[in-house]
Structure 1
């Protein structure tokens, strides 16, 4: 079983409470037996201003960044160039995929010393996150 940081109970009473979808995923990650005991699950960690919803870290497998969206997809549009927008006001928004990619890029370029250099030396190293 994974280690939740903070605990689910602490996350539920935090200043920025988890959404229904985030609670569902955290409960699943906390109780699943498919994750090793050394996997750490962080809820809304802060990385120098970046605040992904959930980050899984494993010393053996790498890092997974997850953005949970409880969106009503009928309120959003996606054009042929994969640009997302709120239909009613035609305001552009980042897709969850764009958000996660930006977090990943920042891990390599800003947050963790040495990751960028390792990814330049090995084309497969970028897959660690």
Structure 2
């Protein structure tokens, strides 16, 4: 996958999520949860870009790709937990509904990342 294709697909995903999340914000139960929604959208957009540009050169060598991928997965989880903890400590949300848009973003970007990494790996098989 070329960088241009990747960026186009990432932007398309982000715009689709933006529309869905904007609509979800209109639901009475989720009003007032906007900051976490947009923080997580921005976070996962940035992490997806980082993963692509870190994984791309590592695909040439499977011994480099696995540590990069696993490190990224762990880092993404750690950053996600940190964001949730900070949000709860700083904002004091009235309920846990703020987690719905957060996990929607997390799930959408995780599926997207897995799909593009699989495409990239198929096109660049490791040398044996």
Richer in helix (by share): 2
Question: What's the TM-score, normalizing by structure 1?
Answer: 0.35
Question: What's the TM-score, normalizing by structure 2?
Answer: 0.35
Richer in strand (by share): 1
